[in-house]
Amino acid sequence: MIRDSDVLGNGIYKSTDAGKTSTNMGLQETGRIGRIVVHPSNPDIVFACALGRVTGPQQERGVFRTIDGGQHWERVLFAGENVGCSGLSMDAHNSRTLFAGMWQVEMHTWGEFSGGPEFNMTSLERPDGKGQGAMTGHAMILNEYGWLWLNRDGSPTRLTEKLYPRLLGENATAQDRLAMNAYLLAGITEYWRAYRLYAGVLHFVYLTSSEPPQGYTSDSFADVKKLELNPYFRDYMSNAFAPLGVYLSFWQPTLTTGNTQSLTVMMVNDEPHSAEGTLTIALEATNGERVEQRTTRFSLAPLGQQPQVTGKFLLKAVAETESGGSTASRRRVSVVMAKRSPN
């Protein structure tokens, strides 16, 4: 796994005294070297698997070889300036045969600076809020997208110690923070799954450490020895990652009485079989009572998103009375594929 918080390397090092001293032998611009393979009978022959900086296109990536102990390096495998080497192995029976894995990956680090609008969850209501590099035509994985970490006891980590007072105030309890963490993380997860920009959405992380007050990240266990997840996290994230995905694209904090509100709901089906049923939008009071609700049917193709059909259709608005009468207004329309951004 690569992370934007990792420090890039400055090349490959060689030691001839069991690690007491080391000498830089080049490849300074490769950024990340994931694997080094040394010839079993000639230590002057070395292969380096260079992933690259992964922040943009570069030439210094792929598989490099030296036959003089690192004095000179030759790039012997290169799949493109956007592709790096992710793994390298030598055949145990034939040192002239190596197997290399190549990975096209691009990572962007985002920061918060003064002078511009800060992120707000209402930004997720806009379908143009796409991640950088998402539309490449290649299968990409989204990882570590939340940045909402809390320690297992509900205290903020060093990365979020300024975030939660802004979200909930200085007097928020640990339970307040754990509930907010699960609520926001689930919404972001639903968003990325709904827009289908990535081959996979991977939450960071199921099991790691929790080290208050010095830790930077943490998992979401209430009791790690019993492998019991925090109940807020289990509730929200089990829904956010369910094979039948639902995303309510609405993040406004208030609704005004007497006004009509249009709500967008996106659905995805990650099962290998079709899914049909009913979708209900409900407004519930804090005691669970439903004040208002609307229900409609849905049908999703295997591994599909609704809607993904094109062609000529009839758009209808139909009013039906309880006595059996109906009145319809009809429009002839063509459904076409949306034009995708080149980014």
Own/partner contacts of 265-268, CB < 8 Å, gap of 24 or more, are 266/194, 266/195, 266/305, 266/306, 267/194, 267/298, 267/300, 267/305, 267/306, 268/193, 268/194, 268/196, 268/244, 268/300, 268/304, 268/305, 268/306
Q: How far apart are CA 189 and CA 203, in angstroms?
A: 8
343 pLDDT more than 50 = no
Handedness of CA 144, 150, 152, 158 (dihedral sign): positive
pTM of the complete model beyond 0.75: no
The average confidence (pLDDT) of the chain is: 83
Q: Where are the domains of the chain?
A: 13-104, 121-243
Lowest-pLDDT choice from 99-113, 210-224, 288-302, 316-330? 99-113
Closest CA to 26 of 14, 17, 35, 37: 14
Cβ of 61: how many Cβ atoms within 10 Å? 30
For 85-121, what is each residue's pLDDT tens digit? 999 999 999 999 999 999 887 775 554 444 455 667 7
Mean pLDDT value across residues 143-165: 89
| Of the ranges 60-74, 180-194, 241-255, the best mean pLDDT one | 60-74
Determine the pLDDT at residue 114: 44
DSSP tag of 75: E
State the pLDDT at residue 113. 43
pLDDT band, residue 325 (cuts 50/70/90): confident
Looking at the predicted structure, is the pLDDT value of residue 16 above 50?
A: yes
pLDDT at residue 305, rounded to an integer? 59
